[in-house]
């Protein structure tokens, strides 16, 4: 029913229909139209306005942008829900790992739809600085080396920690003593692969 109401609004020359127009044109009950209209409004697909004593429904010029942004917000909510699940189950468990993949997917999709994550260039620059340093560094050290304000470095580090997919296959790690380093992203290598690589790589058959 919602699809029929939406199609009627899209295809009408006037671009505007009243509830009575929809009831008569679709030959359905007022209750069916009311329910469909409520559903479409919830998706930001149509807009309601009052003309004297009648309510009119229309599709305005900002429809597609609003729909796009609503979808982006929905993806962000799904990513945040998955993040809470990761905290509950722990990323090292199979359930936590699945939820982390879900979080990464919807976070990236939501940010791409909203115009891309803010500060992604700063995240990549800080990660590159840590790779170049080849040792743990504090935010103040990184700020001095990069010629940035400390706050900018701190923001980049926080963003890197919350979005490890941005620096994949490495991850920015908090060493626990105020310093930061880069390491392999936890889910990039299996336990067996990590063990094998700790030994003599010359003995590994390629």
Tens digit of each residue's pLDDT (9 = 90 or more) over 35-54: 999 999 888 788 888 877 78
Q: What is the number of structural domains in the chain?
A: 3
Q: Are residues 126 and 84 in the same domain?
A: no
Q: Are residues 29 and 19 in the same domain?
A: yes
Q: Are residues 52 and 67 in the same domain?
A: no
Give the model's pLDDT for residue 199. 63
Q: Are residues 156 and 189 in the same domain?
A: yes
Q: Are residues 98 and 70 in the same domain?
A: yes
Give the model's pLDDT for residue 9. 93
Lowest pLDDT segment from 30-34, 125-129, 194-198: 194-198
What are the backbone dihedrals phi and psi of residue 65, each rounded to the nearest 5 degrees, phi first?
-65, -45
Give the model's pLDDT for residue 205. 42
Q: Are residues 82 and 126 in the same domain?
A: no
Q: Are residues 157 and 186 in the same domain?
A: yes
Whether residue 204 is predicted with pLDDT greater than 50 in this model: the reply is: no
Q: Are residues 169 and 159 in the same domain?
A: yes
Give the model's pLDDT for residue 54. 83
Q: Are residues 136 and 100 in the same domain?
A: no
Name the packing angle between helices 19-26 and 2-11 (round to 10°).
Answer: 110
Which domain, by its residues, includes 44?
A: 2-60
pLDDT in tens, 53-87: 788 999 877 777 777 777 878 888 898 999 999 99
Q: Are residues 131 and 110 in the same domain?
A: no
Lowest pLDDT segment from 93-102, 115-124, 125-134, 169-178: 115-124
Decide: helix, strand or coil at residue 22. helix
Q: How many CA atoms lie within 13 A of 133 on its CB side?
A: 23
Domain boundary among 17, 43, 60: 60
* CATH number of the domain where residue 198 is located: 1.10.10.10
Q: Are residues 153 and 199 in the same domain?
A: yes
Whether residue 116 is predicted with pLDDT greater than 60 in this model: the reply is: no
Q: Is residue 179 exposed (0-12), middle (13-18) or buried (19+ Cβ within 10 Å)?
A: middle
Q: Are residues 69 and 20 in the same domain?
A: no
Average pLDDT taken over every residue of the chain: 84
Give the model's pLDDT for residue 115. 56
State percent of the chain over pLDDT 70: 93
Give the model's pLDDT for residue 8. 94
Q: Which of 40 and 192 is assigned the larger pLDDT?
A: 40
Nearest-CA neighbor of 86 among 74, 75, 100?
A: 100
């Amino acid at each position: 029913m919602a699809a029929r109401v939406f199609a009627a609004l899209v295809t009408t020359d006037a671009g505007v229909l009243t509830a009575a127009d929809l009831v008569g044109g679709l030959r359905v009950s007022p209750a069916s139209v009311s329910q469909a209209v409520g559903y479409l409004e919830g998706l930001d697909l149509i807009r309601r306005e009052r003309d004297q004593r009648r309510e009119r429904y229309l599709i305005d010029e900002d429809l597609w942008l609003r729909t796009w942004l609503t979808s982006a917000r929905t993806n962000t909510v799904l990513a945040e829900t998955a993040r809470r699940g990761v905290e509950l189950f722990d990323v090292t468990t199979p359930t936590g790992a699945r939820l982390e993949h879900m979080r990464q997917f919807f976070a990236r999709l939501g940010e791409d739809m909203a115009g891309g994550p803010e500060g992604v260039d700063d995240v990549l620059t800080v990660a590159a600085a840590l790779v170049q340093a080849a040792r743990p560094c504090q935010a103040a050290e990184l700020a001095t080396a990069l010629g940035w304000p400390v706050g900018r470095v701190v923001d980049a580090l926080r963003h890197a920690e919350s979005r490890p997919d941005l620096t994949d296959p490495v991850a920015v790690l908090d060493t626990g003593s105020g310093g930061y380093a880069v390491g392999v992203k936890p889910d990039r290598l299996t336990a067996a692969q990590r063990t094998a690589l700790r030994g003599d790589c010359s003995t590994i058959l390629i």
